[in-house]
Amino acid sequence: MSKHVAPVRWADAFAGGVSAAERAEMDRHAAECVKCRRERVRVQRTSDTLPILRQQVAPELSWDSVRARVHWAVSKAKRSTGEQPTVSRRRFQFLVATAALAAGGIGVYAFARSKPVASVVATHAPEAVVHAAPMTALVSRLAGDVMIDGAHPDSNAAFRSPLGAGTVLATGDGRIDLQFGDASAFALGPHSTLELRSFDADTVALVVDGTVDLEVAPRAKNQRFYVVAGDRTIEVRGTRFAVKHDASGTLVSCQHGLVAVHTAASPDLMVGTARKAFVPAGHALAEAHAVPLTAEELTALATATPWSVPGWAGLVTHSTPLDIAAAAPQRAVRVDGVELGAAPFAMRATPGRHTIEAADSAGHFHRAGWVDVTATARAHFEAMPLPNDTATPPTGAIAARKHELAVGVDHARLKQCTRRLAKSGLLNTFVQIEITVDGAGAINVLNIVDTDLPSDTAQCVHDALADVHFAAGTAATWRQKLTL
């Protein structure tokens, strides 16, 4: 390398924007060239500083406050002389620029030549009141008896409407999950109430009576997150924890992170990862101690994690409710590998194909099928009964129902569904179905568990199978693979 290395190339190298071979050649040149070696050190120091600067929080000083301070400095000069101010243009620029930099901003200003002004009697301009930006939360899961601000919400409206400070949630035999960031959410358990007393960029304060599970992303230095339970306050910087407050006392359980419990009269009680602390009602905080959680308690805490969806910024327009129903009551369900509790419930889902698993009567999960979700229409999935949930029908009954399906399906309609794929040379496609036919011959449940077809084609096949008519006979549930 005969020429000097430009500073911008060093910056690219530190950012990983050059190849390993070119970086090695640049380093060899710097070893022999004093000027390039000096430039490399200078650029490297700057590159190492930038990530630190990005993490710094700007001082809370609005432009109104900057303007007030500059006005006060100029007015002070007027009062001290009793004449027109003689603040130089350069000094005025310095005052404005300094104040702007103190506010965390970088400004470029153009100044016109000052014109004579009349004498003024200056008074101290009051500091501008800076209000933290309000925050909102979105419903991410809804199950059972839930009230928002004293009314039972319409399910569609509940998933569309943001909730803010002052909202009061209450549950009977139900649960509601709310998300308020990419990795921040809380879930109110059954027979509980919760008030969003403060809900802005600086302070989140939740007042709970009952059970609330929370997952809080790390807070900035100027941000506070509190849960108020009676006369005790639980504060976190970023963690997964739960609070249960009732007439017996307050229980704080921490899955990971660190939770501080404090009152006005006692030192803080610290609850760390995989630990819990119970403070009985009427007892001082100093009497309580953090103890380890059992394996069962840790599992239950992990299972109760509030539901949140990626892509917080566009969540309202790029997600839709998904209803999960179950033929057997209180069936536990997993969606994309995440256990979400007993069906039925409604959850917020992103567009795409989602795999559904359902637990049998023994608690073992089995694949129940999948559902395609779009951003424009509410989706629905019903988990069918599994073989060990009901009495297994005779083998002959299943064979008879399979024969009825093979004879009764409209094969011409199926070919029409796959016609476009067949013309493209895609043959021998398949669908694997789970189907339940009752004693009257009605199809109670029909799910496509697996397929190599695209979504629209699979739906066409599903609809054709759903129109098959069965005769009255023995009820049967079976799984079958159909080649198309």
Dihedral sign, CA of 158, 159, 164, 168? Answer: positive
Judge whether 202 and 211 are in contact, CB under 8 Å. Answer: no
With helix as H, strand as E and coil as C, how does 278-347 read? EEECCCCHHHCCCEECCHHHHHHHHHCCCCCCCCHHHCCCCCEEEEEEECCCCCEEEECCEEEEECCEEE
Q: Is 395 strand, coil or helix?
A: helix
- How far is C-alpha 101 from the chain's CA centre? 34
Judge whether 122 and 148 are in contact, CB under 8 Å. Answer: no
Confidence of residue 6 (pLDDT cuts 50, 70, 90): confident
Per-residue confidence (pLDDT) for residue 397, from 0 to 100: 84
Q: Is 115 strand, coil or helix?
A: coil
The architecture in CATH of the region 395-483 reads: 2-Layer Sandwich (3.30)
pLDDT of residue 79 exceeding 60, the answer is no
- What does the domain layout of the chain look like in residue ranges? 7-54, 60-128, 138-303, 317-389, 395-483
Higher pLDDT residue, 203 or 375? Answer: 203
pLDDT tens digits, 160-216: 999 999 999 999 999 999 999 988 999 999 999 999 999 999 999 999 999 999 999
Per-residue confidence (pLDDT) for residue 109, from 0 to 100: 36
For residues 72-82, average pLDDT: 48
Confidence of residue 15 (pLDDT cuts 50, 70, 90): confident
How far apart CA 394 and CA 91 sit, in angstroms, is 96
Instruction: Specify the CATH number for 138-303; select among 3.30.1780.10, 2.60.120.1440, 2.40.50.100, 3.40.50.360.
Output: 2.60.120.1440
- Could you give phi then psi for residue 85, rounded to 5 degrees? -65, 145
pLDDT tens digits, 345-367: 999 999 988 988 888 777 788 88
Higher pLDDT residue, 293 or 111? Answer: 293
How far apart CA 139 and CA 377 sit, in angstroms, is 17
- Which whole-number Å values give the CA distances from 239 to 186, 257, 259, 332, 373, in the listed order? 12, 5, 8, 26, 31
Per-residue confidence (pLDDT) for residue 102, from 0 to 100: 45
**pTM score, whole prediction:** 0.59
The type of residue at 351 is P
pLDDT of residue 90 exceeding 80, the answer is no
How far apart CA 372 and CA 356 sit, in angstroms, is 11
Residue 423: count of CB within 10 angstroms of its CB:
8
The architecture in CATH of the region 317-389 reads: Sandwich (2.60)
